[in-house]
Amino acid sequence: MLHSKLIHPKSIVIVGGSDNIYSPGGRVLKNLLDHDFKGQLFVVNPKQKSVQGVTSYNDINDVPEVDLAIIAISAKYVLETVKVLTQHKNTKGFIIFSAGFSEKDENGEKLEKEIVELIDDAGGSLLGPNNIGLINKHYTGVFTTPIPEMDEKGVDFISGSGATAVFIIEAAQSMGLTFSGIYTVGNSAQIGVEEVLEYLDQSFEEGLSSKVKLLYIESIKNPLKFLKHTTSLISKGCKIAAIKAGSSEEGNRAASSHTGAIANSDVFVDTLFKKAGIIRCYGRNELITVAGILLQKESQGKNIAIITHAGGPAVMLTDVLSKNGLKIPHLESKESEVLLSQLFDGSSVSNPIDFLATGNAQQLAAIIDFCENKCPEIDAMAVIFGSPGLSGVDDVYEVLDKNIRTSQKPIYAILPSVVNVKNEIQEFVKKGNIAFNDEVLFGNALAKVYNHAPGSEKIKDPVLKNYQKIRKLIDVLPNGYMPTESAVKLLEYTGVRFATPFYIKNKAELNKASESVAYPVVLKVEGPLHKSDVGGVILNISNEKALHNSFQKLMQIEGATSVMIQPMVRGTELFIGAKKETNYPHVILCGLGGIFVEVLKDLSASMTPVSEAEAVRMITQLKAYPILKGVRGQSGINIQLFAQAIISISNLLIMVPEIAELDLNPLMAAEDELTAVDVRIRLEK
Amino acid sequence: MLHSKLIHPKSIVIVGGSDNIYSPGGRVLKNLLDHDFKGQLFVVNPKQKSVQGVTSYNDINDVPEVDLAIIAISAKYVLETVKVLTQHKNTKGFIIFSAGFSEKDENGEKLEKEIVELIDDAGGSLLGPNNIGLINKHYTGVFTTPIPEMDEKGVDFISGSGATAVFIIEAAQSMGLTFSGIYTVGNSAQIGVEEVLEYLDQSFEEGLSSKVKLLYIESIKNPLKFLKHTTSLISKGCKIAAIKAGSSEEGNRAASSHTGAIANSDVFVDTLFKKAGIIRCYGRNELITVAGILLQKESQGKNIAIITHAGGPAVMLTDVLSKNGLKIPHLESKESEVLLSQLFDGSSVSNPIDFLATGNAQQLAAIIDFCENKCPEIDAMAVIFGSPGLSGVDDVYEVLDKNIRTSQKPIYAILPSVVNVKNEIQEFVKKGNIAFNDEVLFGNALAKVYNHAPGSEKIKDPVLKNYQKIRKLIDVLPNGYMPTESAVKLLEYTGVRFATPFYIKNKAELNKASESVAYPVVLKVEGPLHKSDVGGVILNISNEKALHNSFQKLMQIEGATSVMIQPMVRGTELFIGAKKETNYPHVILCGLGGIFVEVLKDLSASMTPVSEAEAVRMITQLKAYPILKGVRGQSGINIQLFAQAIISISNLLIMVPEIAELDLNPLMAAEDELTAVDVRIRLEK
């Protein structure tokens, strides 16, 4: 939990404060003074008694007790400073701008650890090192500009990169995005993104706290903590949009060289975000556009009215929205005839509502009133209004401003004339509005917001059958691939049916086996890895003679060690897989087997624990889902059984976190049963 | 062809010119005066003798001979004005701003036609009506602002929407995009996008003309003309990027209500653009970002060095580039060690090259020199450099500017600090550079440019076998679906093998047939549309008894009229389809048959005429292509035969443009033959 003195200090010391406002220590002081910090301010500067008019001490030991220290001195002096502050000055909040710690080398890492230990022991909170600081309603503790417009209903923004935070603040300015708090975590030595989320979660107050959270993340060290607090915030009505950079292999390399981030492969991030209900973004402009939408009223549905005085942008917006599943319903009614009569000749009210280049404020008011009050089929409005430079648009933007406030339905303002009516847009934004400028960027963001799934429903702790038996089986096994017999046993305990195999190495064993075998059976060569490729699988053997012939044939394959006999199971090939990575819960994958996995990569992924609804969603989201339902006269499979198998595997993974990889490939789906015919499980304890 | 007096008038009359610079007629005059039009200017204004200091005539009949008329008066007076100008004033160029023509109603359409006739008869050229005008190096014939920076090496921009043109000019300004010419076509009464392309093509001069063309299009009336001139321009070394709006069904509705555009379904546009080699864009910012890339040196490969002083944006850029197939090669050499020694501690030179927040101009120069001269594996550089607000960046941007000019490899400048170093960015741009501001928008655009395929190679006119026979067969057939017998005949002439069927309606016919049948055969019920769904297909009938039983069974199906007997053809199911729409050439589709078409929609499309290379590309681009090559121990199909079938169908479509739809579904691919077992062809003459 973040210490209250970090959040709301009554006194701040700038260690390394100076008159040079182009240095971090000088600029943070200027920012605090310019933005009217209400508490006491001190500076530590070895050479001056006064810095920018603030009392300066030459020695840290001379400073009075102080809530928060902002440290902007060379890395090598930081430890000593922190020691004095924690042990003698009752300081609980620390922001360390200085670089040269864990992001640099091993020595830096050691130093950073020692600093954290001191602060931990004192029960304090540390933001940084190597960050740009923190801004909230109490103080502007950053050394960068610009200081954005702060507003309790603005967004809370947590950034793993200081520069990215600055660039986002800059880009947000012209669109009117305001902030409630900005937290940059730098090296996350003590407080990382997860800890700030924990703070925002635990300090959340309905009606007071901002409901929109933005994240820029390069690494998630503690996915479970991250999940816990994002889920909790979302359950309190918050919306979270996030960039997780370093999602490509090469991006990971870039992220690693940047902040020593752990490489997280992308599907883990994706399923984690889905589990929580986070809107995933991929760039700064996308993130702030999504934020701009989230700050406005929530739309009750997917039906958008596009209101425009310029055809082109309306067509492009219509394209992007309808390609992404939103609707631009055709409007035709007596009321729309009345509206049409109020517009200039040549206007169209069928949606997009085009009131022509000559359209005016009064007409816009009539159109908005029409959409708000006379079109129950409309959920939200997007108004596109720029200017070719001939006439002012103040009156139009006033109508927009007024209606955005009073309307029940959200109204999004797309104001593309960033040159011709620049001042009018600034005025509009100053009144607390959001101005989007590119209709396609806006449209993609709107679709992203509308289409994003809520997080997983809360599920009861799963019933874990045979827990003791399973642990007993696993605990004695070494790392690596489980022997097939053990894996089959494990599936049995888990409740997944398996086509029990047995193995024969020679004629004698074959003769013995052939007496008890229930035909038809399958023979598979053991030894070669890719059995199909070497002709090592013979299906549908229905008598003793064929059994003998097939055995001989398979044993002649290069590398053959034995032959596996398995009952012949018919049905549709399915696939269930699972993987674990670092501290994340397992990811489970499902799909149709065979070419659908290997060639078409048609797979759905989810993070454990998987609920029944989630399992069904995984299946229905497959491109090949119609095949599972049944197409072209072929009957489908039993979806419930498939979902149940996914849940059983999910439960298994919770019981056996040591499972690093699991493959059921294929599972055969017959009318009313599902039987795995191949299993591979790798343990990593 | 556009008349030279429209392009380069020595004299212009503004009909409807006024002192009110907030009216179109007033503003266009002001624009001409402000931007120093070199020729003679006149005004026609019924009430004044002088307008903005320019001689004004009260009556059009009093005006001297004049090259170009810009008309900004009420629609109803335009015809008379044009009559005087064409018949008595030797005027050849016309720009008509006025609205109220074909975009409004039938009367307007009639009036527009009469105007075009007058101008056609006089051998003149008309841009508009209902447009914002034209800007080129000779004059600024628009009534809008801003007037963009003009530069012969800037982009030529043709827009089907005036407002979109204005918004693009506005957005282009801050990034430094310059223009060579801007043409807005309005209602395209005489000159449409195709005609401007024709002009740009025919007037193209190597070394003088701009090589980057941008298009915003809502309708393509003459796809063949469009294709001819875009292909020709691209063959001369030009790059073309285009938005075709109205690509969704709902967007089409929006486009139609806007300019009376013909609805073109999206796949026709897509294949047309691919045929020509046009880079397709979907939004204004994307279009100008692509244009900014095209205006710089061309990269010789896909290997990018990312140079940054801020980690976050570099990680995001790495992500977006590598996700889209570009490479950020890891750099490690003795030379890179030398470079590292020139940078501050903690920098990274492995690519992204991160020279830290404190990185300076001198270091940037060293890094660029390293990438330019010591990294043969690097083809292009992307430099990300903003500012947290502490220090100036003039020197850094000077290094960038200098190196962009002198470097052999393209250097892209991503300057995200749109607030902190706004002035420095403006300076940078004033020197003729392009400044991108969002790394992800830039990265997507760069990937789009690099990944876009060149247009189709020129192919010789196809050899059309059996042309006479085919025409004879088609000419006597009515509209609608061809009888199967004719369709089979047509395929035979085309060189596509078909599993010849025959039909039996009763026992007698069956008895007769069963004597000559070569088993195994397939029986299909005739009558019901979806045969598989009603169990109407029985495969692999191998003897007389089964034949009789199956016949009886099928004839009992509701709606059964007869039964088709066909040789049983084994193999992999393939699909070839074709479709025609309005004035476009045919689109051909190919894919695997069955679920691959119906469920997975895994299809490739191309426009006729399809070359061999194109046909092969269509096949290899299928997601299911590995299946056609052979997977999991299954042998593949003969790709050449499949490609040959596509070409044969392409040739057929050229001979029979009346084919509105064609389906070969399925074609069965066996080892060395391809046999169609079902065909549907619909004619629309």
Please state the rounded mean pLDDT for residues A293-301.
96
- CB contact under 8 Å between A600 and B600, yes or no, is yes
B81 lies within 8 A of chain A by CB: no
Q: Which residues of B touch A439 (CB under 8 A)?
A: 283-284
- CB contact under 8 Å between A417 and B626, yes or no, is no
- CB contact under 8 Å between B163 and A310, yes or no, is yes
DSSP B261: P
User: Would you say the C-alpha torsion B179, B183, B186, B192 has a positive or negative sign?
Assistant: negative
A173 lies within 8 A of chain B by CB: yes
B352 lies within 8 A of chain A by CB: yes
pLDDT at B253: 58
Distance (Å, whole) CA A387 – CA A423: 12
Q: Is the Cβ–Cβ distance between A501 and A513 less than 8 Å?
A: no
User: pLDDT confidence of A595, banded at 50, 70, 90?
Assistant: confident
pLDDT at A671: 81
Label residues A261-296 b or e (16+ Cβ within 10 Å = b): beebbbbbbbbbbbbbbbbbbbbbbbbbbbbbbbbe
Q: Which residue carries 């975009």 as its tokens?
A: B103
Q: Which two tokens stand for residue A653?
A: 């993974």
Q: Which residue carries 């702060």 as its tokens?
A: A150
A143 lies within 8 A of chain B by CB: yes
A345 lies within 8 A of chain B by CB: yes
Distance (Å, whole) CA A461 – CA A471: 18
B639-655 helix and B467-475 helix, angle to the nearest 10 degrees: 60
Closest CB from A248, A255, A418 relative to B171: A418
B446 lies within 8 A of chain A by CB: no
Nearest-CA distance from B332 to chain A in Å? 14
Distance (Å, whole) CA A243 – CA A234: 17
Helix (H) or strand (E) holding B681: strand B679-683
Closest CB from B163, B330, B439 relative to A312: B163
Per-residue pLDDT tens for A650-667? 999 999 999 999 999 899
- CB contact under 8 Å between A354 and B258, yes or no, is yes
Distance (Å, whole) CA A56 – CA A18: 9
| pLDDT cut 70: percent of chain A above it | 97
- pLDDT exceeds cutoff 50 at A204: yes
Which residue in chain A is spatially nearest to B255 when comparing CA positions? A315
List phi, psi (to 5°) of A163: -60, -40
pLDDT at B254: 58
At the topology level of CATH, where does A148-294 sit?
A: Rossmann fold (3.40.50)
Q: Does domain B4-132 have CATH number 3.40.50.720?
A: yes
A162-175 helix and B311-323 helix, angle to the nearest 10 degrees: 80
Instruction: Provide CATH 3.40.50.720 ranges for chain A.
Output: 4-130
Top-tier CATH class for A304-451? alpha beta
pLDDT at A34: 97
Nearest-CA distance from A282 to chain B in Å? 7
- DSSP-derived secondary structure for A352-420: SEE--TT--HHHHHHHHHHHHHS-TT--EEEEE----SSS--HHHHHHHHHHHHH-SS-EEEE---TTT
Nearest-CA distance from A515 to chain B in Å? 31
Q: Which residues of B touch A245 (CB under 8 A)?
A: 312, 315-316, 319
Instruction: Provide CATH 3.40.50.720 ranges for chain B.
Output: 4-132
pLDDT at A258: 40
Q: Which residues of B touch A27 (CB under 8 A)?
A: 389-390
Mean pLDDT is highest, among A122-126, A388-392, A554-558, for A122-126
Q: Does domain B304-450 have CATH number 3.40.50.2300?
A: no
Per-residue pLDDT tens for B510-541? 888 887 888 899 998 888 767 777 888 898 89
At the topology level of CATH, where does A461-499+569-685 sit?
A: D-amino Acid Aminotransferase; Chain A, domain 1 (3.30.470)
Q: Which residue carries 């039009």 as its tokens?
A: B37
Q: Which residue carries 């600055």 as its tokens?
A: A166
Distance (Å, whole) CA B72 – CA B70: 7
| Cβ count near A636 (within 10 Å) | 14
Which residue in chain A is spatially nearest to B535 when comparing CA positions? A633
A627 lies within 8 A of chain B by CB: yes
CA dist list (Å): B650 to B277, B455, B580, B601, B663? 20, 18, 12, 21, 13
More reliable by pLDDT, A216 or B260: A216
- CB contact under 8 Å between A388 and B286, yes or no, is no
The CATH code of the domain at A505-567 is: 3.30.1490.20
Helix (H) or strand (E) holding B592: strand B587-592
Beta bridge partners of A525: A563
A417 lies within 8 A of chain B by CB: yes
Among B22, B632, B541, residue whose Cα is nearest residue A596:
B632
Q: What is the pTM of this model?
A: 0.94
Top-tier CATH class for A4-130? alpha beta
- Average of per-residue pLDDT values in chain A: 93
Residue A640 one-letter amino acid = Q
Q: Which two tokens stand for residue B32?
A: 């001409």
Instruction: Provide CATH 3.30.1490.20 ranges for chain A.
Output: 505-567
- pLDDT exceeds cutoff 90 at A254: no
Burial (Cβ within 10 Å: 0-12, 13-18, ≥19) of residue A206: exposed
* CB-facing half-sphere around the CA of B573: CA atoms within 13 A: 11
More reliable by pLDDT, A459 or A654: A654
Instruction: Provide CATH 3.40.50.261 ranges for chain B.
Output: 148-294, 304-450
Distance (Å, whole) CA A97 – CA A94: 10
User: Mean pLDDT by 10-residue block, N- to C-terminus, for chain B (685 residues)?
Assistant: 96 97 97 97 97 98 98 97 98 97 93 98 97 97 96 96 96 96 97 98 96 96 96 96 84 49 67 96 98 96 96 95 95 93 92 94 98 97 96 95 98 97 97 97 97 84 88 96 90 94 88 85 84 84 91 92 91 93 91 88 93 95 94 85 96 95 92 90 92
Per-residue pLDDT tens for A159-195? 999 999 999 999 999 999 999 999 999 999 999 999 9
A483 lies within 8 A of chain B by CB: no
Q: Which residues of A touch B355 (CB under 8 A)?
A: none
Residue B74 one-letter amino acid = S
Nearest-CA distance from B14 to chain A in Å? 17
Among A62, A57, A61, A121, residue whose Cα is nearest residue A94:
A121
Distance (Å, whole) CA A585 – CA A267: 12
Distance (Å, whole) CA B65 – CA B75: 23
Write the ipTM. 0.94
Distance (Å, whole) CA A86 – CA B341: 37
Nearest-CA distance from A535 to chain B in Å? 7
pLDDT at A677: 92
A334-342 helix and A361-373 helix, angle to the nearest 10 degrees: 170
Per-residue pLDDT tens for A308-322? 999 899 999 999 999
Q: Which residues of B touch A437 (CB under 8 A)?
A: 171
Q: Is the Cβ–Cβ distance between B106 and B121 less than 8 Å?
A: no
Among A185, A208, A201, residue whose Cα is nearest residue A259:
A185
Nearest-CA distance from B609 to chain A in Å? 29
Instruction: Provide CATH 3.40.50.261 ranges for chain A.
Output: 148-294, 304-451
Q: Which residue carries 């640099």 as its tokens?
A: A104
User: pLDDT confidence of A261, banded at 50, 70, 90?
Assistant: very low
- DSSP-derived secondary structure for B115-141: HHHHHHHTT-EEE-SSS-EEE-SS-EE
Among B203, B211, B443, residue whose Cα is nearest residue B317:
B443
Q: Is the Cβ–Cβ distance between B272 and B152 less than 8 Å?
A: no
Distance (Å, whole) CA A311 – CA A119: 60
Instruction: Using only the alpha carbons of chain B, give its radius of gyration.
Output: 32
Neighbouring residues of B323: CB distance < 8 A, sequence distance ≥ 6: A247, A248
At the topology level of CATH, where does B572-683 sit?
A: D-amino Acid Aminotransferase; Chain A, domain 1 (3.30.470)
